[in-house]
Structures are given as structure tokens and as C-alpha cells.
Amino acid sequence: MKVTIVDYNSGNISSVINSFKEVAKDKVNIEVTADLNKIKSSDKVVLPGQGSFKSCVDALNKIKGLTEALNEFAINDKKPLLGICVGLQMFANIGYEETETKGLGWISGKVSKIDNQNGKYKLPHIGWNQINLVKQSKIFENIENNSHMYFVHSYEFLPEDKNVISATTDYSSDIVCAVEKENIFGTQFHPEKSDKLGLKIIDNFINI
């Protein structure tokens, strides 16, 4: 099996690479590339993302054919894809960080700044927060409700269809922190930085 981590200059992805390699050991081949053919021929794809929504979308668009290759992989071929942090956010139609920016449009919705209730809540939302599992998801197999995961973000994904939400976390309001729509998975938190439970989620994704 081949799992590809998309390397599109979206910021620091070494932790994502390290965690997948740790879980994969020698059983699974982890590729780190933006090569379109390699992506299309993968069994699974991981779409990381750090920095702003706009900078990640810009970085995706800078690589000719990458968006189309991801579309082909996730939408036409319906192969499993995991978006992490801004990787998840880019599933939306539109994001409002820096300026209004079009996303991949895979899951209808928008990405807006978390309401900090006039300074009551610090932003970014940084640290360990509990996840509330709201529907069964393949990536949460053997993950208990209220498990702690590591977050760092100031923007939240607001999907139109609430049925795609697989987990939420409580910070100012119920923030969407994981989605599953058919073959498309996403976590707002960082499984690669969420210790053993995070590695378990990565293992679950690899084993889908």
C-alpha cells in the first residue's frame, strides 16, 4: 500500500511525515511528494496544511494540475483522503482568513474566525482539548469519546450539512473538529501531535 503526504509548501510538515512513518513502520510505503502521477496512483492521500487558509490555497494552486489531481483522487476515484488542520478547512467552498478565498469545495460550507466572545477566549485555540464524537467514523475506531487531542487554530469549518460532522470540541462554542463524508476525512486537530491516541487515528486511516 502507498500513502502519499502531499508536499505543496504548506508550511511545516515534518511532524506529519514522522508520525506516519512511525505508524507505518515497514508495512506501508509513505511518499512525500507533489508529483501528480504519484498522487493519482496512491491508495491514500494526506493533505496537511499550516498557516492561513489563503496561503495554503495559493500554495496548492501554484503547483500546476495539483488541485485537479486531488479532485480526481478524492471525488472521481473516491479514494480515502485525510485533511489535517488547514487541509480539512480547504474542503470548504470558501475561507475568510486574510481575504475571501475559494477552497476545494468538496464539502459545502465556509471557514470563519472563531468567535472569541470579546476576548473571553484566547486565540489561537492552542492546546489539548477533548473531542466529542457525534457519529461513527472509521478514523475514530477504538478512540474513546472525550479523548484529548492537540489543537492550534483560530478559524473553524462551518459545514452546511451537519451530517458530515464526526466530532466537535468545546471552545467558545461547539467547534467542528472532524468530518467524514464518504471517502473524505478531516481533522481540525493535529493527530501527528496528539501522542498515542493521535497515532491511533493515523493508524486507523492507514487501515481503512
Partner 1 sequence: MLKNRIIPCLDVKNGRVVKGINFVDLKDAGDPVEQAKIYSDGGADEICFLDITASNENRDTIYDVVERTSKKCFVPLTVGGGVRSIDDINKLLNCGADKVSINTAAVENPKVVLESSKKFGSQCIVVAIDAKKNGDKWEIFTHGGRNNSGLDALEYAKKMEDNGAGELLVTSMDRDGTQIGYDVSLMSKIASKVNIPLIASGGVGNLDHLVDGIKLGNASAVLAASIFHYGKHSVQEAKEYLDSKGIPVRI
User: Annotated catalytic sites, by residue?
Assistant: 85, 190, 192
Distance of CA 109 to the CA centre of its chain: 15
Nearest residue (CB) to partner 1, 137 versus 169: 169
Nearest residue (CB) to partner 1, 47 versus 184: 47
Nearest residue (CB) to partner 1, 60 versus 74: 60
Question: How far is 84 from 191, CA to CA, in rounded Å?
Answer: 8
Question: How far is 99 from 91, CA to CA, in rounded Å?
Answer: 17
Please give the residue ranges that form the binding site for partner 1 (CB under 8 A): 11-12, 14-15, 18-19, 21-22, 50-52, 55, 116, 119, 122-130, 148, 150-154, 170-171, 192-196, 198-199
Instruction: Report the nearest approach of partner 1 to the CB of residue 169 (Å).
Output: 8
Residue with cell string 474513546: 144
Instruction: Report the nearest approach of partner 1 to the CB of residue 165 (Å).
Output: 19
Nearest residue (CB) to partner 1, 2 versus 122: 122
